[in-house]
């Protein structure tokens, strides 16, 4: 069982927490027009990393606060815990944030024939 | 009753004044307090204790403690029985009953033994190859294979024993109380650190209990051990757990320990705890799990009487039992000489030592010579004979490269064979912790290398064989672990140690065999899973060269044994076949638990009423009094219906449903989720989480809202009321209360942290009585005088605060039935008195309490949905025909963008419609599949399914709701519901049955 440090309550067993999946997924601005493909990427495409992952947790059975965690998915080592509204501040956290495919300029691809313009 | 023929007069540390009687396979034997079932059986000369898994070969005892791979027995009787326990781990008590497994009709004559003769026909992968064809027959094969698989028998009734869980924290957990573990505990505990030390044996000491030729500070190892244990027992911060197997090593130093409590539980009439599962969070773990001796790989190495050399030494020195009177020793190292010398000291006639090494040279070797034990240097045992017990062994000279045999065959008679093939550190827990292992050439085994958690390995677990070094490692580890966990420590003095020096080992693997045309000569690698040398070779020939494939194809290292004695031999053989280094072959990952753990221990006390919390409303005592039938809704107990004497469920529900539309029905609606929402941005927040418009809802009014997930699918629904400016009262479905609150918090905290909104769950604060029906206003009027209840003053979807039956109340004029309805909320502690008052005053209106079943029928008559019944996470509001609730003008709400995705606007999505069976007596089963055309047999392409179905007394016929592809375009169309014995025809209609179906 993971031992997670809630920023408000301290170390607790993971049974008290709720996992919230990948962190730092930007919700598309609803006022802009968005292709189905772009929207689906936001909705369905999640990073499935073997290694460092920035993810969200909620201290459900405690203070009910959401926060972000940098975790190694191989060893389950937790390297950083930081507020949900901020970016990671550790070196590895910053690297993981920048290395994520969402932050890279999208690869140019020829649109499929059935793609809605 | 048999006498204990093999009990030694001098050796052992048992309570010989406490003889105990026990039963094995129906026969009564005697042992002493302190015996395990294995040692007591050995004392009585019982070697044959089981049949092997696949070939049903006779099997005896192999090792001690958790290492035992063969002697799996069934202990206890009736529902308190437990199968597959190692005989070496059962402490005997007076009246113990045990039996052997996997044999029929008897242990000595087992019909399954025919498998041994057919061995050539059932090689590795036999099942995969044979029973896959023809494919259809698998179901037939499976029946017989399942019957043949498994060893013991599970009890059929409820387990009468009690199991517990214990949670603990400590600075240092030491696994294993052998020399290294005890030294570590001694060093760590003196610093004031909180220490737990666990060992799977009933007495601490590990190998210290086995050796008589070592001295620590001029004391015998046993005396030193007793002193240390006494010291530790006197320290307040040390918890000592004998009979406790550390079974799992998880993330962030979280470990599970299985404690077996005292053994008399089997016969006690008082309910006692049988197992206790410890869950411990540890700052620093020290693994002192020791080493496991390795069997030698030679033909017929599995006969009863063939045992690990160190195990025999332990049976002699600890239990005072010799497994044989004429033992033969077969070794590749010096350690087995200690067994020979121990035997000689106890006046046991050692037939000979067969040593594969060509020039053994050590003090131990010279001592054996001095004691005139015949030693066959450079020889090997090539096969053995004997059915229920070894009778003789054949030895031959090995060639210098160890690959062939030379010279004459010599047959040596014996009744026991001690084999020693080297040592493997017990690295299971280290591997579970995520640590990496590396190959060590000198020991020819894997030892721990890089750790990924706060763990230290010491002594045998670290590959350290000698006692002095183990103690030193233990002391050092104890100190550093205490320091790392924040305690101040000074290293204690290293003790002086006398122990025999050992020379090198010669690894000959496998021992060559002589071809024998007539008898099948099996060379066993894995005793528990009956995996032989030829299975490993076959697997490799067939391309299973990866260690993970080898394991799965041959089953080597599986079962309850998890390769304790077999893994390294199998890997070495594979590396030989592949002609590469064992390091390259690698190691399979160990998984918890280290030793079998009863399911009962995992369940603990969380069974029956304690399995899950039960929530009840304030009005629950009345429901129980009234003889209501209950149903579980999430954790809630809700009144389902209230049958009168001799009334069927259908009759009761019909009566309740009719009353709610003709007089007054009353429902306990307290379980609905309630969330108090406050803050200057509350309206804006509601506007974003619901699909419809919320910015202009005036105080004193309510609105129905639908919540979607971001993918556009319906998630929850409910009515939210504006109490006053910036203060709202939200209701959710009973089952969705917790998840909706969490969902709202998530959006507030992660997506819209700038919104000033505060959420509080108030589900338990309010008791709710919903009165419904044409006479409900009259009733309420009698009890509430400070609110004008007229339709004009208090319209539909209105909200008022006032006094009902003298209780301050919140009243909502909302309806889930289509009738005139008031939901009266009072503080929970007043719930029951409000309910009783309403019923009392309501008598003259023929008020009728109704349960959840009637509530379902009433809402279905009006075509109202229930989230979770009409929806399943794949249904949009458009599918439900609820387009009216989706705002076209709002710039954003959760799920808005998804509703215009290509897949969501397709015309052939399943849509909610009504279904009326053509025969007005047929009630369609909920969940039934719907087809356009009935074919003689499946498959038929289905176009939808029935979501709700009831008999509606107000419509006078059954009604149903269904999700059907393009349903709204099919109005009036006939569809079919194929059931097991018949098909029902039904017509697609509107869902508002009450207003459309004429009675």
Rounded mean pLDDT of B786-795? 96
Q: How confident is the model at residue B265 (pLDDT cuts 50, 70, 90)?
A: very low
Give, in order, the Cα–Cα distances in Å from A38 to each of A114, B631, B710, B890, B894. 15, 45, 14, 22, 17
Q: Looking at the complex, report in whole angstroms how far the Cα of residue A62 sits from the nearest Cα belonging to chain B.
A: 12
Angle CA B942–B947–B950, to nearest 5: 125
Interface membership of B751 toward A (CB under 8 Å): yes
Q: Give the chain B residue nearest A77 (alpha carbons).
A: B252
Nearest to A85 among B745, B753, B897 (CB): B753
**At the topology level of CATH, where does A3-23+42-103 sit?**
Folate-binding fold (3.30.2270)
Q: Which residues of A touch B691 (CB under 8 A)?
A: none
Looking at the whole model, is its pTM more than 0.90? Answer: no
Interface membership of B358 toward A (CB under 8 Å): no
Instruction: Provide CATH code, domain B673-845.
Output: 3.30.1360.120
Q: What percent of chain B lies above the pLDDT cut of 70?
A: 95
Q: Is the pLDDT of residue B205 over 80?
A: yes
Window 414-453 of B: residues touching A by CB (8 A cutoff) are 434, 452-453
Tokens of B236: 């307040």
What per-residue confidence (pLDDT) applies to B596? 85
Rounded mean pLDDT of A85-104? 94
Domain with CATH 2.40.30.110 in chain B: 907-996
Q: How confident is the model at residue B145 (pLDDT cuts 50, 70, 90)?
A: low
What per-residue confidence (pLDDT) applies to B266? 47
Residues A50-83: b if buried by 16+ CB within 10 A, e if exposed = eebbbbbbbbbeeebbbbbbbbbeeebbbebbbe
Interface membership of B888 toward A (CB under 8 Å): no
CB B249 within 8 A of CB A75: no
**Residues of A engaging B, defined by a Cβ cutoff of 8 Å:** 1-3, 13, 18, 20, 27-28, 30-31, 34, 36, 39-40, 43, 56, 58, 60, 64-66, 74-78, 84-85, 116
- Judge: B897–A20 Cβ closer than 8 Å, yes or no: no
Q: Which residues of A touch B250 (CB under 8 A)?
A: 1
Q: Looking at the complex, report in whole angstroms how far the Cα of residue A1 sits from the nearest Cα belonging to chain B.
A: 6
CB within 8 Å of B608: residues ≥ 6 apart: none
- Judge: A65–B746 Cβ closer than 8 Å, yes or no: no
- Beta-bridge partner residues of A71: A53, A78
Rounded mean pLDDT of A49-69? 95
Q: How confident is the model at residue B53 (pLDDT cuts 50, 70, 90)?
A: confident
What per-residue confidence (pLDDT) applies to B859? 97
Q: Give the chain B residue nearest A58 (alpha carbons).
A: B746
- Judge: B251–A2 Cβ closer than 8 Å, yes or no: yes
Q: How confident is the model at residue A115 (pLDDT cuts 50, 70, 90)?
A: very low
Domain with CATH 3.50.50.60 in chain B: 163-291+425-491, 295-421+502-521
For the stretch B872-895, pLDDT in tens is: 999 999 999 999 999 999 999 999
What per-residue confidence (pLDDT) applies to B155? 85
- Judge: B742–A18 Cβ closer than 8 Å, yes or no: yes
Rounded mean pLDDT of B764-792? 97
Which comes out higher in pLDDT, residue B445 or B107? B445
Q: Looking at the complex, report in whole angstroms how far the Cα of residue A2 sits from the nearest Cα belonging to chain B.
A: 5
Q: Which residues of B touch A40 (CB under 8 A)?
A: 901
What per-residue confidence (pLDDT) applies to B604? 93
State how far the Cα of B141 lies from the Cα of B160, in Å rounded to an integer: 35
What per-residue confidence (pLDDT) applies to B835? 98
Which of B29, B66, B57 is CA-nearest to residue B45?
Answer: B29
Place of tokens 């294995």: B38
For the stretch B809-858, pLDDT in tens is: 999 999 999 999 999 999 999 999 999 999 999 999 999 999 999 999 99
Backbone angles phi, psi at B293, to 5 degrees: -75, 150
Pairing relationship of beta strands B327-331 and B352-355 according to DSSP bridges: parallel
Q: Looking at the complex, report in whole angstroms how far the Cα of residue A77 sits from the nearest Cα belonging to chain B.
A: 7
- Judge: B742–A56 Cβ closer than 8 Å, yes or no: no
Tokens of B702: 């309510």
State how far the Cα of B106 lies from the Cα of B861, in Å rounded to an integer: 67
Overall CATH class of domain B15-126: alpha beta
Q: What is chain B's percent helix, strand, coil content, to nearest 5?
A: 30, 30, 45
What per-residue confidence (pLDDT) applies to B197? 98
Place of tokens 């010096």: B334
CB B372 within 8 A of CB B396: no
Tell me if residue B876 falls in helix, strand or coil. coil
CB within 8 Å of B31: residues ≥ 6 apart: B4, B19, B20, B22, B39, B40, B43, B44, B92
Rounded mean pLDDT of B308-320? 97
Interface membership of B906 toward A (CB under 8 Å): no
**At the topology level of CATH, where does B295-421+502-521 sit?**
FAD/NAD(P)-binding domain (3.50.50)
For the stretch B374-412, pLDDT in tens is: 999 999 999 999 999 999 999 999 999 999 999 999 999
- Judge: B896–A30 Cβ closer than 8 Å, yes or no: yes
Backbone angles phi, psi at B110, to 5 degrees: -120, 120
For the stretch B317-371, pLDDT in tens is: 999 999 999 999 999 999 999 999 999 999 999 999 999 999 999 999 999 999 9
Architecture of domain B907-996: Beta Barrel (2.40)
What per-residue confidence (pLDDT) applies to B978? 95
- Judge: A27–B891 Cβ closer than 8 Å, yes or no: no
Q: Looking at the complex, report in whole angstroms how far the Cα of residue A43 sits from the nearest Cα belonging to chain B.
A: 7
For the stretch B653-692, pLDDT in tens is: 999 999 999 999 999 999 999 999 999 999 999 999 999 9
State how far the Cα of B446 lies from the Cα of B424, in Å rounded to an integer: 7
Q: How confident is the model at residue B250 (pLDDT cuts 50, 70, 90)?
A: very high
Nearest to B281 among A3, A20, A85 (CB): A3
Tokens of A97: 């944030």
Architecture of domain B163-291+425-491: 3-Layer(bba) Sandwich (3.50)
Q: Which residues of B touch A20 (CB under 8 A)?
A: 746, 750
State how far the Cα of B796 lies from the Cα of B343, in Å rounded to an integer: 96
- Judge: A85–B254 Cβ closer than 8 Å, yes or no: no
What per-residue confidence (pLDDT) applies to B148? 56
- Judge: A30–B891 Cβ closer than 8 Å, yes or no: yes
Q: What's the ipTM?
A: 0.90
Alpha helices in B437-566 (DSSP H): 467-484, 533-541, 547-554
Interface membership of B250 toward A (CB under 8 Å): yes
Round the average pLDDT of chain B to a whole number and report it. 92
Nearest to A84 among B452, B749, B897 (CB): B749
What per-residue confidence (pLDDT) applies to A109? 56
Q: Is the pLDDT of residue B46 over 90?
A: yes
For the stretch B703-752, pLDDT in tens is: 999 999 999 999 999 999 999 999 999 999 999 999 999 999 999 999 99
Tokens of B402: 């160890």
């Amino acid at each position: 069982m993971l031992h997670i440090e809630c920023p408000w309550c301290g170390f607790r067993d993971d049974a008290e927490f709720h996992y919230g999946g990948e962190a730092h997924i930007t919700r598309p601005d609803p006022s802009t027009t968005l292709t189905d493909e772009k929207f689906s990427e936001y909705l369905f495409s999640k990073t499935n990393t073997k290694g460092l992952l920035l993810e969200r947790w909620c201290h459900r059975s405690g203070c009910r606060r959401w926060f972000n965690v940098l975790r190694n998915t191989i060893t389950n080592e937790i390297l950083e815990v930081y507020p949900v509204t901020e970016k990671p501040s550790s070196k590895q956290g910053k690297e993981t944030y920048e290395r994520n495919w969402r932050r890279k300029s999208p690869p140019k691809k020829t649109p499929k024939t059935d793609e809605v313009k | 009753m048999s006498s204990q023929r093999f009990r030694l007069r001098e050796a052992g540390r048992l309570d010989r004044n406490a003889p105990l009687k026990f039963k094995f396979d129906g026969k009564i034997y005697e042992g002493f307090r302190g015996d395990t079932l294995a040692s007591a059986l050995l004392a009585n000369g019982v070697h044959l204790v089981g049949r092997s898994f696949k070939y049903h070969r006779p099997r005896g005892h192999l090792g001690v403690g958790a290492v035992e791979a063969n002697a799996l027995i069934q202990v206890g009787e009736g529902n308190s029985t437990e199968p597959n326990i190692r005989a070496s781990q059962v402490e005997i008590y007076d009246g113990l009953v045990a039996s052997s497994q996997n044999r029929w009709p008897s242990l000595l004559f087992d019909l399954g033994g025919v498998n041994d003769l057919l061995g050539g026909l059932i090689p590795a992968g036999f099942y995969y190859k044979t029973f896959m064809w023809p494919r259809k027959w698998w179901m037939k094969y499976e029946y017989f294979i399942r019957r043949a698989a498994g060893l013991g028998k599970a009890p059929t009734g409820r387990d009468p024993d009690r199991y517990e869980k214990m949670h603990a924290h400590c600075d240092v957990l030491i696994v294993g109380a052998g020399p290294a573990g005890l030294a570590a505990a001694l060093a760590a505990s003196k610093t004031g650190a909180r220490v737990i030390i666990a060992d799977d044996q009933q007495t601490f000491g590990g190998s210290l209990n086995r050796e008589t030729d070592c001295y620590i500070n001029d004391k015998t190892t046993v005396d030193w051990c007793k002193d240390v244990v006494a010291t530790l027992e006197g320290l307040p911060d040390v918890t000592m757990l004998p009979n406790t197997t550390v079974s799992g090593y998880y993330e962030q130093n979280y470990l599970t320990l299985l404690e077996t409590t005292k053994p008399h539980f089997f016969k006690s009439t008082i309910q006692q705890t049988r197992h206790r599962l410890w869950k411990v969070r540890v700052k620093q773990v020290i693994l002192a799990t020791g080493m496991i001796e390795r069997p030698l790989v030679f033909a017929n190495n599995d006969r009863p009487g063939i045992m690990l050399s160190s195990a025999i030494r332990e049976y002699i020195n600890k239990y005072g039992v010799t497994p044989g009177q004429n033992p033969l020793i077969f070794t590749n190292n010096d350690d087995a000489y200690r067994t020979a010398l121990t035997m000689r000291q106890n006046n046991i006639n050692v037939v000979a030592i067969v040593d594969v090494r060509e020039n053994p040279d050590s003090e131990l070797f010279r001592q054996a010579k001095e004691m005139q034990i015949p030693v066959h240097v450079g020889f090997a045992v090539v096969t053995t004979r004997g059915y229920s017990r070894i009778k003789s062994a054949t030895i031959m000279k090995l060639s210098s490269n160890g690959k062939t045999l030379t010279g004459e065959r010599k047959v040596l008679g014996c009744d026991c064979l001690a084999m020693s093939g080297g040592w493997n550190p017990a690295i299971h827990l280290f591997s579970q912790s995520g640590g990496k292992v590396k190959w060590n050439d000198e020991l020819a085994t894997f030892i721990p290398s890089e750790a990924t958690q706060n763990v230290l390995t010491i002594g045998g677990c670290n590959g350290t064989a000698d006692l002095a070094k183990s103690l030193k490692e233990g002391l050092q580890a104890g100190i550093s672990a205490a320091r790392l966990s924040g305690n101040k420590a000074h290293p204690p003095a290293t003790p002086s140690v006398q122990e025999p020096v050992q020379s090198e080992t010669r690894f000959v693997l496998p021992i060559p065999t002589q071809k024998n045309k007539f008898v099948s000569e099996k060379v066993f690698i894995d005793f528990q899973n009956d995996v032989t040398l030829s299975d490993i070779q076959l697997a490799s020939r067939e391309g299973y060269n990866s260690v993970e494939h080898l394991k799965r194809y041959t089953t080597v290292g599986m079962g309850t044994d998890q390769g304790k004695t077999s893994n390294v031999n199998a890997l070495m053989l594979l590396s030989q076949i592949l002609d590469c280094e064992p390091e390259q072959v690698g190691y399979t990952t160990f998984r918890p638990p280290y030793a079998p753990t009863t399911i009962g221990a995992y369940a603990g006390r969380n069974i029956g009423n304690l399995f899950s919390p039960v929530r009840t409303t304030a009005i629950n005592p009345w429901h129980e009094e009234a003889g209501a039938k209950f149903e579980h809704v999430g954790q809630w107990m809700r009144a389902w219906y209230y049958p009168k004497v001799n009334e069927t469920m259908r009759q009761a529900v019909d009566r309740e449903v009719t009353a709610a539309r003709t007089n007054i029905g009353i429902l306990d609606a307290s379980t609905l989720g309630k969330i108090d929402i406050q803050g200057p941005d509350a309206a804006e927040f509601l506007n974003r989480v619901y699909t419809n418009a919320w910015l202009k809802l005036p105080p004193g009014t309510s609105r129905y809202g639908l919540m979607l997930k971001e993918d556009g699918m319906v998630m929850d629904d409910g009515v939210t009321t504006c109490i006053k400016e910036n203060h709202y009262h939200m209701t959710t479905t009973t089952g969705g209360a917790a998840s909706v609150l969490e969902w709202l918090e998530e959006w507030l905290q992660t997506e819209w942290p700038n919104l000033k909104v505060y959420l509080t769950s108030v589900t338990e604060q309010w008791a709710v009585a919903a009165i419904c029906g044409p006479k409900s206003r009259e009733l309420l009027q009698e009890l509430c005088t400070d609110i004008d209840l007229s339709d004009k003053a208090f319209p539909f979807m209105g909200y008022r605060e006032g006094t009902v039956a003298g209780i301050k109340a919140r009243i909502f004029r909302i309806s889930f039935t289509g009738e005139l309805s008031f939901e009266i909320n009072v503080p929970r502690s007043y719930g029951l008195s409000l309910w009783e008052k309403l019923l009392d005053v309501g008598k003259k209106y023929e008020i009728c309490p109704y349960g959840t079943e009637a509530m379902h029928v009433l809402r279905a008559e009006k075509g109202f949905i229930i989230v979770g019944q009409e929806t399943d996470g794949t249904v949009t509001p458009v599918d439900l025909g609820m387009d009216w609730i989706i705002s076209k003008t709002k710039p954003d709400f959760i799920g808005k963008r998804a509703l215009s995705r290509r897949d969501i606007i397709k015309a052939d999505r399943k849509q909610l419609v009504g279904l009326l069976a053509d025969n007005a007596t047929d009630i369609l089963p909920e969940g039934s599949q719907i087809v356009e055309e009935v074919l003689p047999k499946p498959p038929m392409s289905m176009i939808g399914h029935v979501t709700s179905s009831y008999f509606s007394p107000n419509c006078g016929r059954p009604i149903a709701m269904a999700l059907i592809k393009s349903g709204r375009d099919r109005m009036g169309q006939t569809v079919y519901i194929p059931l097991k014995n018949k098909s029902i025809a039904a017509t697609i209609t509107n869902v508002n049955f009450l207003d459309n179906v004429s009675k």
